[in-house]
Structure 1
Amino acid sequence: MVGPWARWERHVARRRARERGTDGQHVPTETYACRECEHDWPCAPARLSLLIGFDGDRVGLMMYLAAHLARALEALPDRHPALVVGQIIYWVPRRR
């Protein structure tokens, strides 16, 4: 059984999502934080949706992320480039 506190937290999360207008999509903001959960983008749900969306097309996924990397390097000039690369690129599973 779900308690009242858990229901309240879900209600607040849905209300915040509606206010932000994201509809549950984990997309990056201008500072490359997730618009939905406010973690560094790509967050875990965004990574999962990217892997499912590209369906084994690792080259296409890397090209998509490289485009985001170029934008992120311009948007985050105060962050060390290695940290930005680690955030956006290094999570992709290696080929076996």
Structure 2
Amino acid sequence: MQVRTGSRPSSGSGRETQGPAPSIYRNRSIPTQQIMMELNYGIQVTPAIRLTPNLQYIVNPDQTRFPYYPKNIPDAFVVGAKLSVDLFTLAGLAKGPGSR
């Protein structure tokens, strides 16, 4: 068995190709499927303002940007929130949800 490192000889096109990855990276399995679960809920604070808290859990986060990272990226738990403000309702030019 022969292991090559470095670059292979050029085929004359002027482009060099990389040799195989170092052995530390070859034996690691990279997850191929990312699973994302999300939970959110909208709270209407006023007719013009809505708050939406958000929880996400990501299993096997996508690692295609760093395929030779020596360790798998751990699962992630993400907490976030979105605040929506309707300027027309706030200015009194329109009626927001729940307004009569």
Question: What TM-score does the superposition give when structure 2 sets the normalisation length?
Answer: 0.21
Report which of the two structures shows the higher radius of gyration computed on alpha carbons: 2
Indicate the structure with greater helix content: 1
Which structure exhibits the higher relative contact order, with contacts defined as CA atoms closer than 8 Å and separated by 6 or more residues? 2
